[in-house]
Amino acid sequence: MATASSPAISASVLPLERHEHWSSRLLFILAAAGSAVGLGNIWKFPYIAGEHGGGAFVLIYLVCIALIGVPVMMAEVLIGRRGGQSPIHSVRILAAKENRAAFWQIVGWIGCVGSFLILSFYSVIAGWALIYVSYAFNGVFDTLASDSAKDAQSIGNLFSGLLAAPGTLVTAHTLFIIMTVMIVARGVKAGLEQAVRIMMPGLLLLLIILVGYSALATGKFGQAVAFLFQVDFSALNWRGVLVALGHAFFSLSLGLGVMVAYGSYLPRHISIAKASVTVSILDTFVALLAGLAIFPVVFAHGLEPAAGPGLIFVTLPIAFGDMPGGLIVGTLFFILLVLAALTSAISLLEPTVEYLTEHRGIKRLWATLGAGMVVWLLGIASALAFNLWSGFTVLGNNIFDALDFLTANIMLPLGGLLVALFAGWVMSRSSIQEELEMGNTVGFRLWRFVLRYITPVGVMIVFLYNLT
C-alpha cells in the first residue's frame, strides 16, 4: 500500500463544520437498519437462495456477513465519523492526514456510480411492489387464488402480464423515484427518522404473521427449513459463492459509502462495534424470516424455488389470497415493502447529494432533482429490459440482470475490499483505536486482523475463482 506521496491538504478537504447528528443511538440504528433492510432481504435473498440450491448458499452467506460484512460495516462507519463529511471527502481527508495519495477517494466515486446504477433497477422492483399494493387492496389475489387448483398459475400470469406492460412499469418506477426525491430533497431527518420508527417494527410484525401462516397452513414448513438450512455443498458452485458474498455487501448496504455517509452523522459516544453488530443481526433476521415465509408456499404449490426475480410476487399473493384477512395483510405487506425500499433508496441517493451540496455548492433541491433525473433515465432501461428491450443482452443477460450482476457482485465487493484496505492498512492504528473506543482488547485485535487479512484475501479468492 505504499502510495506515500504527500498531497497538500487543499482547502476543499479541510474539515467542514461537523454535520448535524442523529438524535440518538436508536435512531442511527433504525436509519442504518432502514438502509440495510430492503428489497435485498425480502425480494432478493429468497430468490437467489432458491437459485443457488438453498442450505449451502445460506451458510456461505451467513459466513460472509459475519466475517466480512460486520468488520467492513464497522470500517465504513468509523471512516465516516472520523472524516465527518461525504464519503469522497471523508476518505480524502483521512488519506491526506496519513500522507497518502488522493487515490483513495476512488472509494467514494465507486460509491456514487454504483449507487446510481443500483437505485435505477431497485426503483423498478419497488415499482412492482407499488403496483402490488393496488392489486392486494382491490382483492385481485382473493379472486385469482379462489380456485386452489389454478391459483399458482393465475397468480403467475398476473406477474408475467405486469412484466409485459412497459407503460405500467415505467409509471410505477417514476412514482417511486418521485417519492425518493421528495424525501431526500427535504433533508433526511424529519421524514426519514419518523418513517423508520414505525416501519421497522411493522415490517417485522407482518413477516412474523406470514411465517406463522406458512408454518401452520401450508404443511411444508419442515421442507422449507430443510431447504434453507440443510447444507449440501454439491448444490453450490463458485458463482454461488460470489453471489452470496455480493449479497452480503448488498444487503448490509456496504461498498458504496452509504454507511460512511450515515457514520458522518454519528455522535461520538456511540459504540460503532455494537451498532454495526445490531444492524447486521437485524438485517439477517429479516432475510431469514422472509425465506421462512416464502419457501413453504413455494413447496405447497409446486412452484419452482429457482423462479428468479419474480419469486415473492408469484408466491406471497397465493398466501394472501388464501388466508383469512389476506386483503388487509397483503395490502399492508406491500405497503411496508415499498417503505422498506424507500428507506434504502434514500440512503442510495444521500451520499451523492451530500457531495453535490457540500462540495459543489449546488442547492439541495437541485442536487436531488438532478441526481433523481439521471437515475430515472437509467431505470427506464431496466423497466424495458423485461419487455421491449428483452432481446438486448450483455454477455447473455438482459440489462436488468447485467446491472444487478455488475453492481452487487463486482462493484460492491470491490468497494468493500478498498474500504478494508483503507481502514486496515492506510489509517493509523492509533486513530482507529481512538474512533472505535475499544482499547487494545481481543475484540479490537481480532477485528483488525480480519479486516487486514481475511476480508481482502477472501474477496480476492472469490473473484479469482470466478474469472477462471
Binding site for ligand PHE (CB under 6 A): 35-36, 38-41, 118, 250-251, 253, 256, 258, 344, 347-348
Cβ nearer to ligand PHE, comparing 214 with 344: 344
Give the integer Cα–Cα distance in Å for 197 and 201.
7
| Least spacing, CB of residue 412 vs ligand PHE, in Å | 7
Closest distance to ligand PHE from the beta carbon of 350 (Å): 9
CA angle (227, 211, 344) in 5-degree steps: 95
412 and 255 in contact (C-beta within 8 Å)?
yes
Distance of closest approach, residue 115 Cβ to ligand PHE, in angstroms: 6
- Count of Cβ atoms closer than 10 Å to residue 154 Cβ: 18
Nearest to 68 by CA among 242, 245, 241: 245
Shortest Cβ 45–ligand PHE spacing (Å): 8
Long-range contacts of 24-30 (CB under 8 A, 24+ apart): 25/267, 25/270, 25/275, 27/193, 27/196, 27/197, 28/262, 28/265, 28/266, 28/270, 28/275, 29/275, 29/278, 29/279, 29/282, 30/193, 30/196, 30/197, 30/200
Q: Are 405 and 397 in contact (CB under 8 A)?
A: yes
Least CB distance to ligand PHE at residue 40 (A):
2
* Residue 162 or 256 with smaller CB distance to ligand PHE: 256
> CB of residue 233 vs ligand PHE: minimum separation in angstroms?
26
Residue 152 or 275 having the CB closest to ligand PHE: 275
Least distance to ligand PHE, CB of residue 258, Å: 5
Measured from each CB, the residue nearest to ligand PHE is 40
What Rg value do the Cα atoms of the chain yield, rounded?
A: 22
Nearer Cβ to ligand PHE, position 22 or 250?
A: 250
Beta-strand ranges (E) seen in 342-458 are: 393-394, 397-398
Phi-psi region of 439 (alpha: psi -120 to 50; beta: other; left: phi over 0): left
Output 34 or 53, the one with its CB closest to ligand PHE.
Answer: 34
Q: In the complex with ligand PHE, which residue's Cβ is closer, 258 or 335?
A: 258
Judged by CB, which is closer to ligand PHE: 41, or 105? 41
List of E strands, 304-384: none
Do residues 144 and 158 lie in contact, with contact meaning Cβ atoms separated by under 8 Å?
yes
Compute the least distance from the CB of residue 111 to ligand PHE, in Å.
9
Give the residue with the Cβ less far from ligand PHE, 35 or 276: 35
Write the DSSP assignment of 93-118 as a string of letters: HHHHHTT--GGGGHHHHHHHHHHHHH
